[in-house]
Amino acid sequence: MTATPSSAAPLSAELAAELVALAHDLADAARKVTLAAFRQAALSAENKSSTGFDPVTAADREAEAAMRALIEARRPQDAILGEEFGPKSGPSGLTWVLDPIDGTRGYMTGTPTWGVLIALMDQHGPIFGVIDQPYIGERFIGGLGHHHLIGPQGEYPLHSSARKTLAKARLFSTFPEIGSTAERAAFERVRDRVLLTRYGMDCYAYALVALGQADLVIEAGLQSYDIAAPIAVIEAAGGIVTDWQGGPAHHGGQVLAAANPDLHRAALVLLSGVNGSANGPQDGPQQVE
């Protein structure tokens, strides 16, 4: 639930620094919880869906609870939207959007492609985001003047790639059987034009677009907490994230993330015109974790 402020005044340098520091503390708190259970024999998952498989672990809930507790202690005036515990309203006009483990399927099977997603939104959309991969120790941040990766090899700027043609592009998606029949056909039109396609990377695919290693991510059936943080990180790195009609994507649904305007335009031509419901039923697996 995003609270709408009466004005869109820019954040002061002091407030921006406070918010960035809190975002890092949120990521640190989630790292501690998620790493404690990752690849442990006792890790188990419940299914949140009555029609498919949408797993959740105790670590999902505990990590979100830890992040929410920090926000409520230090920024009680801010709203919160989290995957596991829903919305909390707040009068500040700022909303923290939390996905404690994006890629729970990866988490429960031991792959290091899941991540913690933290976004800060105003009434227009994401203004700051974190994609954190605790096991690898990589943290991608973007917005409020930041666009860099902090990891085992140090800290360096994020820049999306300059590859401008689909024939040279590297495409990612979580599931090959994306969305509805029509959405799948549209995705395959792009897939058939690119250099290579990879699947199953969860939020780490978006981080790779910001890093300049990948060029496109195309998905459908997302929720706000799946995409808000990647939008901020990719846009800070020079990329573009929209829905398949070229509009805002921070509410979820169909998402096209591209490294630069040329690739975005080329992919959009092949995707646009396919209407989809942001939260409606999908023929393929739901992309919500």
**Residue 184 sits in the same domain as residue 147:** no
**What CATH number is attached to the domain comprising 40?**
3.30.540.10
Query: Does 50 have pLDDT greater than 90?
Result: no
pLDDT at 64: 97
Report the 10 Å Cβ neighbour count for 107: 29
| Across 6-10, 47-51, 135-139, 215-219, least confident range | 6-10
Query: Percent of the chain having pLDDT more than 70?
Result: 90
Q: Which value, in Å, is the radius of gyration of the alpha carbons in the chain? A: 18
Mean pLDDT of 243-251: 97
pTM, rounded to two decimals = 0.90
Q: Is pLDDT larger for residue 175 or for residue 125?
A: 125
Mean pLDDT of 39-58: 77
Q: Tokens for 135, please give them.
A: 């096991």
- Residue given tokens 């459908």 in the structure block: 220
pLDDT at 41: 85
d(CA 180, CA 34): 32
Query: Does 284 have pLDDT greater than 80?
Result: no
Whether 124 maps to a domain, the answer reads yes
d(CA 174, CA 211): 18
Sorted by sequence, the CB contacts under 8 Å of residue 47 that are 6+ apart come out as 53, 54, 55, 56
Q: Is pLDDT larger for residue 211 or for residue 176?
A: 211
Which structural domain, as residue segments, surrounds residue 145? 13-157
Mean pLDDT of 242-251: 97
**Residue 221 sits in the same domain as residue 244:** yes
**Residue 224 sits in the same domain as residue 267:** yes
Angle at 179 between CA 174 and CA 182, to 5 degrees: 130
Query: Does 228 have pLDDT greater than 70?
Result: yes
Whether 87 maps to a domain, the answer reads yes
| Across 3-7, 114-118, 222-226, 232-236, least confident range | 3-7
CA 255, chain centre distance (Å): 11
pLDDT at 285: 43
**Residue 203 sits in the same domain as residue 237:** yes
pLDDT at 9: 61
